Amino acid sequence: MVDLSINCGGIKSPNPFWLASAPPTNSGYQICKAFEAGWGGAVWKTIGAPVMNVVNRYGAIDYNGQKIIGLNNIELISDRSIEINLKEIAETKRLWPDRAVVASLMVESDRQVWHDIVKRTIDAGADGIELNYGCPHGMSERGMGSAVGQVPEYCAMITEWVTEVSTIPVLVKLTPNITDIRFPGRAAKKGKANGISLINTINTIIGINLDTFQIEPSRGGKGGHGGYAGPAVKPIALNMVSEIARDPEINLPISGMGGISNWRDALEFILLGASSVQVCTAAMHYGFRIVEDMNEGLTNWMEEKGFTSLDQVRGKALPNISSFGDMNLLYKDVAKIDEKKCIQCNLCYIACEDTAHQCIDLLSKKGKKQPTVREEDCVGCRLCYIVCPVENCITMVHKENGNDSKTWNELTKELPQPMKLEDLRAFQRKHGIEIH
């Protein structure tokens, strides 16, 4: 039997799928509805001082017929009172004692104000606290959100204010709008956080109206930067999650988020070290019932692979992450085109001829121009594989090179420094590497 239950920094839930702090978690009604659908937890929309939102606060990028590849928002924290939110947290937890109810908090940078809201949140029965150090718009202009997450000293200071009085687990939600995500992560550890959530939204302008020159979406002719989420941000989120997971100075549980739309996306985050995974944009696009497929898909995959718990899966991809300097320079793949599947669209030829290494020819076969790879010239860049519209028509085939292996770090020790071009060419000739 597969057990999907998790423990993220002391916060337990029956499965790893949580709704992220956002419009879908703005009320007890919504969260209870989500729990009925099967979500394991929810992070309440951020609670803090009263705000007023503006209209036209969402913008999106659609591409090639797919809606909402990326979602941009300038929505602020909850526009409902702290009292109402805390009352609904207590009621939701009473109705769903086995689900994770996490309160996202953001108040002014005052120690006593933080102490007060933390104590009130604990009294409401929340399972944990998530500190919002990530909002890149609206709140950051007020000295909160990403204005805190971008300064490790502030991150450590406020986290410590919270952990001084908190008797429940504290997660710190990090902003991706920073050069090195590890520094605020280390600051959260210094502040005695129990775990880290990431990533929050990315600071973006979604687009410009080419007729009016207004920022999209427009509010009376005015627009500005907002927070970007959705499938387009997943690669950025995966990288930052792995950075936190691999840093020995941090070593904290992770709640991962950023572009998760299905169980496969979620599993990638778990394989890079996440305990729980948070979803927002996909729920806003398709509704709460997407979690049914997530639970089923993850369960089926684990059964197929022979895993019984997520503890056996978590972080299994981390050892495969390498710096460029440790990669084998002598490893070789070449592209191979399956002529039976090829539809002669010639996209591979065009891409290779114009923008890669000119190693695909168009040969006349049975009255058609058939793209054919010249293996001796193929450098294995994989561009043709990426542009091909037919699944498995182009594959990358490994070419055996004995047991030879040489990394860049090893090479720099072997060759004279500073390395000259002729030294590198001599190394390539020695190992039979094509020179282009």
pLDDT in tens, 159-171: 999 999 999 999 9
pLDDT in tens, 45-98: 999 988 888 888 999 999 999 999 999 999 989 999 999 999 999 999 999 999
DSSP state of 83: H
pLDDT in tens, 252-292: 999 999 999 999 999 999 999 999 999 999 999 999 999 99
Q: Which long-range contacts (CB under 8 A, 24 or more apart) does 141-148 make?
A: 143/108, 143/109, 144/48, 144/106, 144/107, 144/108, 144/109, 145/106, 145/175, 146/175, 146/177, 146/200, 146/203, 148/109
Domain ranges of the chain: 6-318, 324-408
Instruction: Name residues whose C-beta falls within 8 Å of residue 263's C-beta, 6 or more positions apart in sequence.
Output: 293, 294, 295, 296, 297, 298, 301
Tell me how far CA of residue 430 lies from CA of 146, 156, 377, 423, 427, in angstroms.
Answer: 52, 53, 17, 11, 5
Burial of 243 (0-12, 13-18, 19+ CB in 10 A): middle
Residue 149 confidence (pLDDT) = 87
Residue 251 has pLDDT above 90, yes or no: yes
Residue 79 confidence (pLDDT) = 94
Q: Return the percentage of the chain with pLDDT > 90, whole number.
A: 82
Residue 419 confidence (pLDDT) = 82
Residue 2 has pLDDT above 80, yes or no: yes
More confident residue, 182 or 431: 182
- The mean per-residue pLDDT over the stretch 332-348 comes to 96
Instruction: Name residues whose C-beta falls within 8 Å of residue 426's C-beta, 6 or more positions apart in sequence.
Output: none
Q: Where are the alpha helices (DSSP H) in 319-420?
A: 347-355, 383-387, 408-414
Residue 417 has pLDDT above 70, yes or no: yes
Measure the CA angle with vertex 44, ends 38 and 45; round to 5°.
125
Q: What totals of helices (H) and strands (E) does the chain contain, helices first?
A: 14, 20
Residue 436 confidence (pLDDT) = 55
Residue 267 confidence (pLDDT) = 98
CB atoms within 10 A of CB 271: 17
Cβ(8)–Cβ(270) below 8 Å = no
pLDDT in tens, 85-133: 999 999 999 999 999 999 999 999 999 999 999 999 999 999 999 999 9
Burial of 198 (0-12, 13-18, 19+ CB in 10 A): buried
The token duo for 137 is 């718009």
DSSP state of 3: B
The token duo for 78 is 């909850």
**E-strand spans in 161-217?**
170-173, 195-198, 202-204, 207-208, 215-216
Q: How far apart are CA 137 and CA 200, in angstroms?
A: 11
Q: What sign has the CA pseudo-torsion 9, 14, 17, 19?
A: negative
Residue 237 has pLDDT above 80, yes or no: yes
Among candidates 106, 89, 105, 107, which has minimal Cα distance to 41? 89
User: Taking all residues of the chain, what is their mean pLDDT, rounded to a whole number?
Assistant: 94
Residue 435 confidence (pLDDT) = 56
Q: Which residues pair with 337 in a beta bridge?
A: 394
Residue 199 has pLDDT above 70, yes or no: yes
Q: Where are the alpha helices (DSSP H) in 124-206?
A: 146-149, 152-165, 182-190
CB atoms within 10 A of CB 80: 15
Residue 39 confidence (pLDDT) = 98
Write down the catalytic residue from 8, 135, 384, 388. 135
Q: What is the CATH number of domain 6-318?
A: 3.20.20.70
pLDDT in tens, 388-414: 999 999 999 998 876 678 898 988 888
DSSP state of 219: B
Distance of CA 282 to the CA centre of its chain: 13
Element (H, E) at 286: helix 281-286
Question: Known catalytic residue: 342?
Answer: no
Return the CATH class of domain 324-408: alpha beta
pLDDT in tens, 134-159: 888 878 777 788 888 899 999 999 99
Q: Return the percentage of the chain with pLDDT > 70, whole number.
A: 98
Residue 434 confidence (pLDDT) = 63
- The mean per-residue pLDDT over the stretch 408-423 comes to 86
Residue 42 confidence (pLDDT) = 98
Q: Which of 13-17, 135-139, 184-188, 229-233 has the weakest average pLDDT?
A: 135-139
Residue 197 has pLDDT above 90, yes or no: yes
Phi, psi of 322 (to 5 degrees): -135, 150
Residue 12 has pLDDT above 70, yes or no: yes
